[in-house]
Amino acid sequence: DAMVIQNPRYQVTQFGKPVTLSCSQTLNHNVMYWYQQKSSQAPKLLFHYYDKDFNNEADTPDNFQSRRPNTSFCFLDIRSPGLGDAAMYLCATSREGTGTDEQYFGPGTRLTVT
């Protein structure tokens, strides 16, 4: 089945220790998104790739970086995690340019910072 996959599902890291979260998709979608969601809050868009074009949100901290080496994979790098970065990180994909552009989410990665 076509899907969005995130690894790991749970990640524990230490304060200041870099961490990388991964997302892959078999939907052949051209747009991939990263969201941060904290408890009882709306998902907050961090950035997205439209094909190879990177689009950063103005309020995304520099501590968050992303890479998209190919159509199927996208990575979220947190260079120096702080306690405030503990959250669920959601990857989503969509296909733009076909008239339907609904967004599908992966299962998320729950990040804990100790």
Partner 1 sequence: QKEVEQNSGPLSVPEGAIASLNCTYSDRGSQSFFWYRQYSGKSPELIMFIYSNGDKEDGRFTAQLNKASQYVSLLIRDSQPSDSATYLCAVKGGYQKVTFGTGTKLQVIP
Site for partner 1 in 55-94 (CB under 8 A): 55, 88, 90, 94
22 binds partner 1 (CB under 8 A): no
Single-letter residue type at 86: A
Given CA atoms 50, 52, 53, 58 in this order, what sign does their dihedral have? positive
Please state, in angstroms and rounded to a whole number, the distance separating the CA atoms of residues 18 and 48. 21
CB of 58 to partner 1, least distance (A): 11
**Tokens 């520099």 sit at which residue?**
62
The footprint of partner 1 on this chain (CB under 8 A) covers a number of residues equal to 24
20 binds partner 1 (CB under 8 A): no
Tell me the pairing of strands 44-50 and 31-37.
antiparallel
Nearest to partner 1 of 48, 68 (CB atom): 48
107 binds partner 1 (CB under 8 A): yes
Q: Which residues bind partner 1 (CB under 8 A)?
A: 31, 33, 40-43, 45, 48, 50, 55, 88, 90, 94, 96, 100-108, 110
